Structure 1
């Protein structure tokens, strides 16, 4: 017998894998010339001879795993957090041990050199071994000016430069090589590629991070970069939905507002994301952008219309949805960070990204716990998000395995070979 909690969770998620029933029918009638002749009487007799032997139900192992998790463990899986410094400290250990966070993101201020970075990632994995679920170990490694890797490595060109060449094979190889580089350290998630169309020359935050102003080039090269990243068993997170290319404000500093309506978005900004979803995108990052003609009250990262109605329903995205950093000016200058995180989850977000400040991370965790206990966030929606998160970790076979060394020269040689004929 299954535990009651497991059976309830099965009904909630509607995702059990049920086997069919084998029905053995005993036929006592004589077979004459391979034809079974039945009248109403023999049909009645046959019906009494039916023997139904059901096979045991096969429960989805992820559903069973979720049924055994505490609410703290579930909420922890819905956070990716930044940490301070070059090694583990008390706060980081608390986030892993007590809050059971599901992932960590590293920035340049966490990286000194190859040896230190490898040691930090190994220590994060070692510390997490007490937990049953491996970590998302994530980074923003786009190429160009957005790079976090140690100085020992050859740098990749900007997406703008790649877009000018407009070679899908090259984009695939660059995506695969970036993924190989970060995977050599133990990273398993990359917040890339950029699918923003750089349509506003005054855009202060996207610019050369985009493949260009041509939506078709952005789509084709972005998707090939995504596939290249996937080829090395690294999870790509396409960004910044529903499109950050037409903004004139940096969302790190304030809340951008774009007066494009849904018709415009569907004919332009959403095209690269829609194509990426058709090509099996695993995860999508939601931008902090106010689109008053679509949702006059909420920025996209807090908007049910944009997250659930457009991304989930219209574009049929079934993967993991993650916010952009909730400590960016667009959020913390306009909202209480805990309340914003709750609002985002209610809108349909699976993972809340909190990159800076231990107090911010604790505030988000506590706000989410309180919202669940009050029924403001349903346990059903928490389970659905955790199911998507654990499914993604299982798909990529994540493990908290220690890596002993990194071949810097070998990686640089791979980078050189990919770039030598074009850059």
Structure 2
């Protein structure tokens, strides 16, 4: 009897276990119908939208070409040529010189008029100037005069250098500028240099780095884009590139020890813009000056020095270019070499010729549309980084800026 009960109990256990397993299997099969396939996702992952690329994708070729240029004006008011450059050619920005500026109110109104004229363009303007202090100063005379860079380098005080940059930034911002072509990072190593001189902070890399980088940081702390210049270095020349083409016969190793050192430090500090000088370096490129050289712009600046920011030409209407090259072909060579933004300061006809030549080269395929879009991306990214807008400025408090300037001057000349 005991064995009989034992067999009955064992049989019941086997039957119950089988039922349980069948129920679990049934539940699993039921659940499996509602589980997503392992290779699919239940919810679509939405990638972050690249708004800059979206803008570029919706731009016409003419609009793209226009953004590659910053141009000069003929007078101190907007004229018909200016309106054509804005309305027809969608130009990316303007540069003002002393002859464009007569007083504070006129400058304020001119910049406001440029912004108004650009109101139909969703992309704001670069509004630029060369404001270095010393003899290279374009601002109205109502601003107290700042000493040249050399004076700042001679003092070699970090706080003064930083404040010097901030004062420059505040002045430009008060009028509506958003980009400054400065400071100069050239090392003034040649006493016979006719163009740099006291525009440089000094004749040693230590002085230029120790002061120039702080001035750059001070300027951009006021939300002004600071474009350092003149890469790879204009300090050891005996020719003025405004008049003709300077030549520097140095090997790359020599350049790294002197000329390139301040720019390398600037790149480490994430400088937003670097201006290329019109200088021939035969040991790097015996055919083209730096402005037109793939060896200098792409292989040296982009690849060796790992610079990812905006690359700007010096004024393409300077003697170094127009005495030795066809201006529109030189402009195209700058873009082919890896440059982004062309500076065309003088001559309405020069601006038109360059625009037409760039379009022709793009249509021929010698400038690839992918390369064009890469340049556009860097330009628009910088405008977005500084949150540039074509907002009008109603008034300026020049007294408060001059008060701060006077305090700085007292520290400089004490």
2:3 corresponds in structure 1 to: none
1:357 corresponds in structure 2 to: 347
Work out which of the two has the higher radius of gyration on C-alpha atoms and give 1 or 2. Answer: 2
1:279 corresponds in structure 2 to: 269
Q: Whole-Å Cα distance in 2 between the matches of residues 325 and 117 of structure 1?
A: 22
3-state secondary structure, aligned to 2:329: helix
3-state secondary structure, aligned to 1:420: helix
1:341 corresponds in structure 2 to: 331
- Report how far residue 58 of structure 1 moved: 2.7
Unaligned ranges ≥5, structure 1: 1-44
1:150 corresponds in structure 2 to: 140
Confirm whether residue 378 of structure 1 aligns to residue 378 of structure 2: no
- Report how far residue 388 of structure 1 moved: 0.3
Q: What do the CA deviations read for 1:18-58 (whole angstroms, capped 9, x no partner)?
A: xxxxxxxxxxxxxxxxxxxxxxxxxxx99869755441233
Unaligned ranges ≥5, structure 2: 1-34
Q: What do the CA deviations read for 1:33-88 (whole angstroms, capped 9, x no partner)?
A: xxxxxxxxxxxx99869755441233311111100001111110000000110100
2:243 corresponds in structure 1 to: 253
Confirm whether residue 159 of structure 1 aligns to residue 145 of structure 2: no
Distance change >3 Å, CA 399–CA 47, structure 1 → 2: closer
**What root-mean-square deviation, in Å, do the aligned CA atoms of Structure 1 and Structure 2 show?**
1.5
1:212 corresponds in structure 2 to: 202
Q: Whole-Å Cα distance in 2 between the matches of residues 340 and 89 of structure 1?
A: 27
* Superposition map of 1:16-415 within 5 A: 51=41, 53-415=43-405
- Report how far residue 366 of structure 1 moved: 0.8
Q: Whole-Å Cα distance in 2 between the matches of residues 50 and 72 of structure 1?
A: 43
Q: What do the CA deviations read for 1:214-246 (whole angstroms, capped 9, x no partner)?
A: 101101211100100110000000000000000
- Report how far residue 136 of structure 1 moved: 0.2
Distance change >3 Å, CA 72–CA 161, structure 1 → 2: same
Which structure is higher in helix share? 2
Q: How many residue pairs end up in the alignment?
A: 380
Given that 2:86 and 2:117 are in contact with CA atoms closer than 8 Å, whether structure 1 keeps it comes out as: yes
Q: Whole-Å Cα distance in 2 between the matches of residues 159 and 264 of structure 1?
A: 24
Distance change >3 Å, CA 48–CA 355, structure 1 → 2: closer
3-state secondary structure, aligned to 2:64: helix
Q: Whole-Å Cα distance in 2 between the matches of residues 46 and 402 of structure 1?
A: 55
* 1:417 corresponds to which of 407, 410, 414: 407
